[in-house]
Structure 1
Amino acid sequence: MNPDPGLRERKKRRTRAAISDAALRLFLTDGFDAVSVVDIATAAEVSKRTLFQYFPSKEDLVVHRFADHVDDAARVVRDRGRGQTPLDALHAAFRTGLDNHEPATGLCDTPEVVACYRLVLDTPALTARLARFLDSGEIALAETLGPPHDLDARLAASAITAVRRNLCEANWRELAAGCSAAQRHPVAVAEADRAFELLAAGFARAVPAPD
């Protein structure tokens, strides 16, 4: 008899979380470069082979925590309200994320999240891996903004992705330096408003209001 699919899936999620949590603890204690995959597997009480079944690379042990939000921009554009422009929808969603101190905006000062921010900022390999994740989100956004291979959609998606990343990283750096989310919030909002104002001025024709 096959195991209960629900139980099997829950066990997989627990194993994945255990590996990820063990890796983060070691990285924060000893540094990313000093910790080996074997160290992580031992701490999580799994084999090296099992670890790689869940995480294809050492970098993914950290960056996967951001992966759920990679396609956020494309989703926001797809789900925008009737009569709302893509840029207005993205602006509103980012502002809401700031107000709610969501990790994806860089404005979450939960200790574990701030520790992740510091780890990524201080580790070039993690910064590079995160950039690859963002590339996939940019492609998804371009496909949502226009027809396949459309130049305007590609350029708009690239600019929007760069702006969102810039805003997030500015918040990361301030929180990693000791600023609280509440202290940073007014500046983060003002910077987001200015950034989307500039995007709207430059890409109003590329991502126009719906008919």
Structure 2
Amino acid sequence: MNQQMGLRERKKERTRETIAETAIRLFLDKGFDRVSVTEVAERAEVSRRTLFAYFPTKEDLVLHRFADHESEAARIVRARPEGQPPLDALRQALLTALAERDPNTGLNDSPETIAFFGLITSTESLAARLTRYVARGIDALADAFREAGADPLDARLLAAQVIMVERELAEINHAHLVDGQSADDRYPEAVRAAGRAYDLLRDGAGSLA
């Protein structure tokens, strides 16, 4: 029975990936607003009902990549080694992601990744929908900070700052790649910017106060 459930889950995951990959290829080729859900379902060889079972809205076909990572910061805080400050764990995770050219850092210069980011920023409904995932990421991280002993208000404010700072860093990196800089050339400055961002988060506004 367990093996059967495992096979079923793997099949469901493959179906989900096929639908999402098909949708993103179509959106990048034709534009988000010019592709219907019916066209995605037909190209992925599934019914509309099956598609909506995996992705409740058209926007979810694109933004599931963010949904899959919306609680990542909270997970990092909860999984950190004993005695390590939460911000240090988040800083190190970001530096590792930059070194690995994680697309979520904006420091990935594959043509598909650059086009994917461009699709989101140029499509109003996608940009608006993304704010929901960002908000849920803030909620999750605030919970993790509270579990680590932070005052509820401090936890909420710091979580909002961390999530928004990392999104801004990603957008800055992406903008440089769009302008023609390679990920490798951008990497040292991306690391410096990440370090500076976390210094400000740790120390407060500093000279801006």
TM-score, normalised to structure 2's length? 0.89
Q: CA deviation at 1:124?
A: 1.7
- Structure 1 SS opposite 2:133: helix
- State the Cα distance separating 1:107 from its structure 2 match: 1.1
Q: Distance in 2 between matches of 1:178 and 1:38?
A: 36
Q: Which amino acid is 1:198 matched to?
A: L
Partner SS, residue 146 of structure 1: helix
Over aligned residue pairs, what C-alpha RMSD do you find?
Answer: 2.1
**Gapped regions of structure 2 (runs ≥ 5):** none
Query: Deviations 1:43-73 (Å, cap 9, x if unpaired)?
Result: 1111111110110000100111222221111
Instruction: Give, in whole Å, the separation in 1 of the partners of 2:159 and 2:15.
Output: 36
**Structure 1's 149 and 123: CA in aligned 2 closer, same or farther, altered over 3 A?**
farther
Matched, 1:193 2:195: yes
Amino acid at match of 1:97: A
> In the TM superposition, what are the counterparts of 1:99-114 in structure 2 within 5 Å?
99-114=99-114
Instruction: State the shift of 1:178 in Å.
Output: 3.2
Equivalent residues, number: 203
- Say which structure is richer in helix: 2
Q: Distance in 2 between matches of 1:141 and 1:194?
A: 21
Which stretches of structure 1, 4 residues or more, deviate above 6 A after TM superposition? none
Greater alpha carbon shift after TM alignment, 5-14 vs 41-50:
5-14
Instruction: Give identity over the alignment, percent.
Output: 52
In structure 1, list runs of 5 or more residues that go unmatched.
204-211
Secondary structure in structure 1 of the residue aligned to 2:172: helix
Contact 1:115–1:176 (CA under 8 A) maintained in structure 2: no
Cα distance in structure 2, aligned partners of 1:182 and 1:89 = 24
Partner residue, 1:207: none
CA distance in 1, matches of 2:18, 2:100: 27
Q: How far apart, CA to CA, are the structure 1 residues paired with 2:32 and 2:102?
A: 25
Residues 117 and 176, structure 1, Cα contact 8 Å, conserved in 2: no
* TM-score, reference length from structure 1: 0.89
**Distance in 2 (alpha carbons) for counterparts of 1:88 and 1:80:** 9
